[in-house]
Amino acid sequence: MKRLIQFSKYQGTGNDFVLIDNRLNHFPKDDQPLVARLCDRKYGVGADGLILIEHHDTEDFSMVYYNADGAESTMCGNGGRCLVAFARKLNIINHSGSFMAVDGVHHAVIADDQVKLQMKDVSDVQMVDGAYFLDTGSPHHVALVNSVQDLNVPEVGSSIRYGRYGTQGANVNFVTPNEDGSFFVRTYERGVEDETLSCGTGVTAVAIAMHYAQKTEHTAIKVQTPGGNLQVSFEHSAQGYKKIFLTGGAVHVFDGSIVIND
């Protein structure tokens, strides 16, 4: 039996996604091999993850996110920003909107291809053997290194992802301060099990961790990734970090359809 699946491809600073309009509930959400096949870069469309946009009773839409391995996962910041751009393309929203994700409601504003997405509050940052651990919608390990450009991120990231955090794992971020006060970040993502060009929840975690570690006094922080630049802003108090926003480009790459042989 052949199945035709319509999709749109988006990317946010090189973090790319297959986006599918599932408001009619036609997509088989429990078919993990199908999701993995669509994300495969040789036998499918190719992406770091797949996202379904669906109806929601109180928000403009809802977000269902899958890692490239086909498993439904935690929040994806760049994916959320791309989904906002997709929602505008579908005329679900115009210049702003809100959606429900696995970690709660997110508000967003979009202008041209720039999306400013509110992330979940962060009240707890933990020290882990000289590194930092925090949850920004997904769990993140943040480690300062002398020269992130020279690091073997897949090898070192994998060893930390499995060796320290076990089967459930965590995303692993390596960060080096730049001379201009910004930070350069490279991320190993669980579920992709490789380095990605950018990670939105990872960039958010890095900005908060660097402020927590007193590596910066700024509450609007520029972060460079291999795929491009993002900005994280927040308010800080004794209770933690609130009004956290992740801002950057969300670009429509192409629309297409793919035939799946069941």
In SS3 terms, 156-202 reads as: HHHHHHHHCCCCCCCEEEEEEECCCCCEEEEEEECCCCEEECCCHHH
Q: Quote the CA–CA distance of 174 and 148 in Å, as a whole number.
A: 6
End-to-end CA distance of the chain: 5
Mind telling me the catalytic residues?
Answer: 76, 199
Q: Quote the CA–CA distance of 50 and 257 in Å, as a whole number.
A: 14
3-state secondary structure of 113: coil
3-state secondary structure of 123: coil
Look up residue 173 and give its amino acid.
Answer: N
